[in-house]
Every structure is written in C-alpha cells, then in structure tokens.
Structure 1
Amino acid sequence: MLQPMYRRVMLVELRRGGRQLGIAHTRTGARYGGYNGEPQATISRDGSRVVFASNFDDGGAPSSYR
C-alpha cells in the first residue's frame, strides 16, 4: 500500500512502475509564510545528499536540514 505523500520529501524514479522512496517529512503547516516558507528540496549530483527547508509549522523563517 502506498503511503500519503503530503508534506514529504521523496525520491521518485521517473519511469513506468518506478520506485518511490520517502526520505524526510517537512512538517510545514498552514502558517508557512507564503512562497519563501514553502518546503523546497534539492539533491546532489551523485544522489548522496538531499537538503530541504522547513519551518516546522512555527510561523517563522524556514531552516535547512540535511
């Protein structure tokens, strides 16, 4: 059974029947501060590291996590 993907950072294989791997929860809520507070993620070229931002629903500025 697939898990909900809401507020999650995921690695997804882009092909038919591709694999999905949840790697983090952002915990960003309704008070995320608009565009600048949205959860954003990026991955290194070799796929060994992912960094993402989240404000953990405290209404403040987002912090980065890796």
Structure 2
Amino acid sequence: MGQLIEWPDVITEGKDIEECRAMLRDALNEMVLAYQMQNQEIPLGNSLIEQLPVEIDDVCQAA
C-alpha cells in the first residue's frame, strides 16, 4: 500500500513495491494535471517516507 503525503486521499496498492511505486507515480501525474486544469497551486514536497512490511512467522499474545 502506498500514499502520497501531499495528497493524503491518494492511496494505492500493488502486488509488490515496484508496482505500488508505479501506481503512485501515475496517481501523482493525474493529480498534477487536475490541479493545473483547475488553476490550483500544486503542493510541493521533497520528502520521501517509505515504510516496508515485516513478515513475522509466529506471533504470540501475552496473557
């Protein structure tokens, strides 16, 4: 799952991280075009936050 910080409503997912990144790039391009068509200021950001999933084989709950 991926999300754009500047547009928190844009959330996507892919079968792997590469596909998710590609889908986020596509969503970003679409958002920029929409903002340009509406003469809105495009949010600027130059930060990258990336969380990666961790697989856990056995999960035990404390009683």
TM-score range (shorter-chain normalised) is under 0.3
Work out which structure has the larger RCO, using CA pairs closer than 8 Å and 6 or more positions apart in sequence.
1
Structure exhibiting the larger radius of gyration computed from Cα positions: 2
TM-score in terms of structure 1 length: 0.25
Q: Which has the higher strand share?
A: 1
TM-score in terms of structure 2 length: 0.25
